[in-house]
Structure formats: C-alpha cells, structure tokens
C-alpha cells in the first residue's frame, strides 16, 4: 500500500470536523456533520466538495484533436473551445478504461479529467496511444479542484470570480480568474444540481477555500464529503466507475449511447460497439425503485421469478426522494420502464420496478 | 460519551434496559455515531423468539448495513413502529426513543454476562 496523499485542503477538512478516510490513494473527508445534512444542503442551498483527487491530463499540439478523437467516444470536432463533454475512454473491446470529462481549452489543447483511482492506468493508456505531434502531460499533483454545487452555487462562486456566470450554460466553462488566481471555472458537477467546478494551482488551495466559505456561509454553503457525493450522483443517475461502469461493460450496455458518436470516424472500441448495435445488446444498465422495504446495495442479485437476471451496481436510500433506488445490469428483455423485477436482500426477494433515469435532476 | 446507568451493554454495541422480565433493546450512541445517519431498520416480527446472539434486526445507514444481535434470549413482544416515521431518532436518541424491540426475557440472569455503563465505557476505550 502506497502512502496516502493529502490534497491542498486537508487542513480545512480537519478544522471543519471532517471524518477522514482513505479514498483512491488520498485522505479525504467522507462527511463533516452528516451525509444527510450535507446532501440536503446541496439540494437546497449549496455544498463545497474537495475533488482534487481527480486527475488532470493535458493533450496539446497540432495532432491533439486527432488523438482525443481516437481516445474517446465523443466527437470533439463538434466541440468548440470553452465547452466540455462527458465521454467514454474505451479499450479495443469497447469496455471502459475510464469515463472522462473532456475540456476543449483551444483548438489544439484539451484537458481530460479522470477518476483518481484510474489516474495511473489512464495516463499509461493515453501515453501508449498517443501519436503524431501531441504532448501528453499529467498535472494532477499540481492542480486543485473544488466543486460548489447547489441552487446558491452561482451566487457564491460569482463573489470570487471575474468570470460572468449569469448566462453560463451547463457544460460550458471559461479560463479566467478566482481571487486574481488563474482558474478554469466550469458549470459542471456530479450532483444533478446547478453547480460549478474550479481548477487552479494547488498553492492557492486554502486561500480559495476560505474565501468561498466566507462568501458562501450567509447563503448556506456547507462543506460536503464523499458520502453525499455518492448519494447525490446516484439520484442524478450518474455512473460511478468501478460500480456501474468498468472494463467489462460498454457505454451502450451502460445506457450511455448519447456519449457515443458512431458517425465521427474510427475510435478505440468502435468496431465492438458497431457489432453491438447490429446484433443487439444482451444486457442493460437500468434504474429501479424498490417497492418493498429495504435498501439495495452493490452486488445484490436481481431475479425475475426463479431466474437470476442481473446484479445491482449501486443502491441507496434516496435522501431527496425518500425511497430506495438503485442501478442494475439486467438481461435483455427486462430493461423497459415499468418492468417488475426482484432484488435479493439477505436471502429475501424484494419487489422492484424499472424506472427511467435520472431519478432526480435540477441542472437547468 | 455517556451511557445510562442501569442499562447493560454488549460488545456488539447493543443496550438492554430491563423492567421485570421485559427488556428494551437498542443500539448504543457509539454504534449510531459509527454508522452515521440511519435510514432504514429491518425489524423482526412480534412473536418471534430468539436466543441470545441471534441476529434480530438490521440497521442500515447511508453507507452500511449492520446486524443487531439479541443480548438476551426471549420473545419479541413489541417493535418500535415509530422508527419508520423518522429513522433519525436512532441517531438523535439511541438510548431512548430510538429503541428497536421489547423482549420478554426467558432468563434474566443472562444479563450478568453483559457490561455495565462503566465497563462498556472502559471497553470502548480499548477499541481505539
């Protein structure tokens, strides 16, 4: 086990009473006050998350666009500077190396934001794939990232940045400054709520945290930990690598056909996706609500009558909706909204219904 | 952290409060704090009998599900139906309104195997 890393906000977490746990090689707060309180703050006012564990890999050069086109499922020729897209980075077999955010910084410069647990693997994968005149650089250790999420997030972040957030749309960003510090200010997040993410040099971590807390406290801003990050993203129907997507499932199976642009030309994994589109899928990631009482959790089996037809990949008691929800891979034929399935919880079959995703969204 | 005098405690962090041969059973404030926000409890059925050490309920927080072990043998005579109206009572008042079941004990001398409040406090200090 390697030594755990600390982000530039570690002192702030400890001072705020954060319960520190090991996560993806970092010491990060799972909660401060309580998961329910922090989750509710994000849905009603705002929460601030240290997401500096996320990896930042830059691709730059005349062939950067061609490289990104090969690496991910989205069509970056259609993405202008100051826009970001959610994409799959796939192996040749169509399964996920990782799911990534791709920022188009300029016509010849892209930022890929990747999962912390996958950073080393992703960096190696990208370096092994890179071709032509394109430089790949992993700057994860020197970049801090904060997510400010919730209905009050726009007013809070506007107090510390010169970037005009008034008309910034979802998945748009600007390179501007925060407190006079160079920063990327991005209207993105992992909560299904109005929210912003800030990227800046690690040396300014505490300055930015303290200024945001001061600006945000009158508006109900609370520090928020990894615990509610997971419950929020699940309500938003957003996949978590290692749970819902992995190197055994394709984006089509994961219900992410919208991030796959088949008409953009060749890309890693395309031929398998083409085959799946022709032959049809054998399994589908679906959202479900438990009808019976209980809480579905990762790894629980899914049945239709006596037949095992799938497995739960994520589950929780939805704090916002106050009902048990989950995601599961089910065999083809059981994916339609309204389909009745059973989830086995402690040797008992509990009734559940397939529902449409997301469970909750308020990003507009 | 303080624990009510007169209650008895298990190493698995259940508490028992005995009135005649009727025992109220719940989880300790230590267990509730470790779990975090309780969002569901799978309750047993009234009339079911358990030996001490049997799993009689499952308490689930956002992050985890933990089994509750019966501290003394007996029959469930009442379950706390109020919990469903707001499981947060398990975190707010775990030794009082957050009780889980009431049991008619078959052998109250089993209580002697459990820890007093002082002994439980001492026990917790060894867990750090």
What share of chain A has pLDDT > 70, as a percent? 99
Extended strands (E) in chain A: 19-23, 26-31, 46-50, 55-60, 83-90, 96-106, 109-114, 135-138, 143-149, 173-178, 181-186, 195-201, 221-223, 283-290, 301-304, 307-317, 324-331, 340-345, 348-355
Touching check for B67 and chain A: CB below 8 Å? no
Q: Which residue of A has its CA nearest to B64?
A: A297
Residue A364 has pLDDT above 90, yes or no: no
Given A31, A297, A317, which is nearest B36 (Cβ)?
Answer: A31
Residue B42 within a domain: yes
List CB contacts (< 8 A) between A295 and chain B.
39-40, 60, 65
Residue A1 has pLDDT above 60, yes or no: no
Residue B89 within a domain: yes
Counting one residue from chain A and one from chain B, the pairs whose CB atoms sit within 8 A come to 37
Query: Which residue(s) pair with B65 in the sheet?
Result: B60
Q: Which residue of A has its CA nearest to B57?
A: A346
CB contact under 8 A, A317 and B60: yes
Q: How far apart are CA B116 and CA B9, in angstroms?
A: 6
Touching check for B65 and chain A: CB below 8 Å? yes
| Domain around B102 | 8-108
Strand, helix or coil at B43? coil
At the topology level of CATH, where does A10-51+143-235 sit? Answer: Gyrase A; domain 2 (3.30.1360)
A251-289: per-residue pLDDT in tens? 999 999 999 999 999 999 999 999 999 999 999 999 999
Q: Which CATH architecture has domain A282-355?
A: Beta Barrel (2.40)
Residue B44 within a domain: yes
Share of chain A residues as helix, strand and coil, in percent rounded to the nearest 5: 25, 35, 40
Touching check for B36 and chain A: CB below 8 Å? yes
CATH of the domain at B22: 2.40.50.100
pLDDT of residue B1: 75
- The DSSP-derived string for A321-350 is T-SEEEEEEEETTS-STT-EEEEEETTEEE
Touching check for B33 and chain A: CB below 8 Å? no
Contact criterion met (CB below 8 Å) for B68 and B59: yes
Dihedral of CA atoms A198, A204, A209, A210 in degrees, nearest 10, equals -140
- The neighbour count for residue A167, using CB atoms within 10 Å, is 6
CB contact under 8 A, B60 and A36: no
Given A36, A297, A319, which is nearest B65 (Cβ)?
Answer: A297
Strand, helix or coil at A354? strand
A178 pLDDT band, cuts 50/70/90, is very high
B57-111: per-residue pLDDT in tens? 999 999 899 999 999 999 999 999 999 999 999 999 999 999 999 999 999 999 9
Touching check for B37 and chain A: CB below 8 Å? yes
pLDDT of residue B2: 85
CB contact under 8 A, A319 and B60: no
Domain boundaries, chain A: 10-51+143-235, 282-355
- The neighbour count for residue A98, using CB atoms within 10 Å, is 26
A→B interface, C-beta within 8 Å:
30-31, 34-36, 227, 231, 293-295, 297, 316-317, 319, 324, 346
Q: How many domains does chain B have?
A: 1
Contact criterion met (CB below 8 Å) for B121 and B3: yes
What would the two tokens of residue A95 be? 């399964």
Residue B52 within a domain: yes
| Alpha-carbon gap: A15 to the closest alpha carbon of chain B (Å) | 19
Q: How far apart are CA A238 and CA A232, in angstroms?
A: 9
Q: Which residue of B has its CA nearest to A323?
A: B39
């Amino acid at each position: 086990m390697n030594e755990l890393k600390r982000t530039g906000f570690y002192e702030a977490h400890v001072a705020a009473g954060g319960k520190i746990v090991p996560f993806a090689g970092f010491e990060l707060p799972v909660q401060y006050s309580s998961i329910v309180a922090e989750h509710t703050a994000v849905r009603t006012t705002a929460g601030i998350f240290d997401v500096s564990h996320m990896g930042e890999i830059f691709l730059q050069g005349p062939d950067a666009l061609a490289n990104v086109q090969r690496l991910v499922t989205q069509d970056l020729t259609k993405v202008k500077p100051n826009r970001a897209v959610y994409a799959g980075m796939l192996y040749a077999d169509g399964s996920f190396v990782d799911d990534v955010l791709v920022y188009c910084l300029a016509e010849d410069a892209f930022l890929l934001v990747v999962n912390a647990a996958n950073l080393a693997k992703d960096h190696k994968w990208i370096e092994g794939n890179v071709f032509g005149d394109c430089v790949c650089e992993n700057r994860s250790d020197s970049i801090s990232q904060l997510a400010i999420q919730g209905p009050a997030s726009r007013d809070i972040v506007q107090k510390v940045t010169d970037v005009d957030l008034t008309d910034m749309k979802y998945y748009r960003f600007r390179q501007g400054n925060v407190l006079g510090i160079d920063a990327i200010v991005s209207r993105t997040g992992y909560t299904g709520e109005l929210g912003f993410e800030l990227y800046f040099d690690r040396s300014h971590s505490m300055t930015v945290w303290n200024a945001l807390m001061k600006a945000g406290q009158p508006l109900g801003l609370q520090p928020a930990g990894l615990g509610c990050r997971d419950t929020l993203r699940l309500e938003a129907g957003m996949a978590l690598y290692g749970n819902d997507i992995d190197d055994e499932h394709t984006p089509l199976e994961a219900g992410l056909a919208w991030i796959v642009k088949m008409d953009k030309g060749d890309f890693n994994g395309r031929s398998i996706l083409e085959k799946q589109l022709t032959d049809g899928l054998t399994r589908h990631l679906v959202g479900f609500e438990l009808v019976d009482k209980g809480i579905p959790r990762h790894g629980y089996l899914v049945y239709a009558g006596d037949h095992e037809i799938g497995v739960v990949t994520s589950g929780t008691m939805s704090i916002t909706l106050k009902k048990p929800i989950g995601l599961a891979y089910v065999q083809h034929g059981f994916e339609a909204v309204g389909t009745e399935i059973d989830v086995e919880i402690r040797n008992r079959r509990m009734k559940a219904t397939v529902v449409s995703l997301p469970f909750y969204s308020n990003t507009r | 952290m303080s624990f009510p005098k007169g209650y008895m405690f298990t190493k698995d962090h259940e508490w028992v409060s005995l009135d005649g041969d009727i025992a109220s059973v719940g989880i300790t404030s230590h267990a509730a704090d470790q779990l975090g926000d309780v969002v569901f409890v799978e309750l047993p059925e009234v009339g079911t009998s358990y030996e001490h050490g049997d799993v009689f309920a499952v308490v689930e927080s956002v992050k985890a599900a933990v089994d509750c072990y019966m501290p003394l043998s007996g029959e469930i005579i009442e379950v706390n139906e109020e919990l469903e109206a707001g499981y947060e009572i398990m975190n707010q008042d775990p030794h009082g309104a957050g009780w889980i079941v009431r049991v008619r004990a078959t052998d109250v001398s089993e209580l002697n195997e459990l820890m007093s409040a002082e002994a439980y406090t001492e026990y917790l200090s060894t867990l750090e």
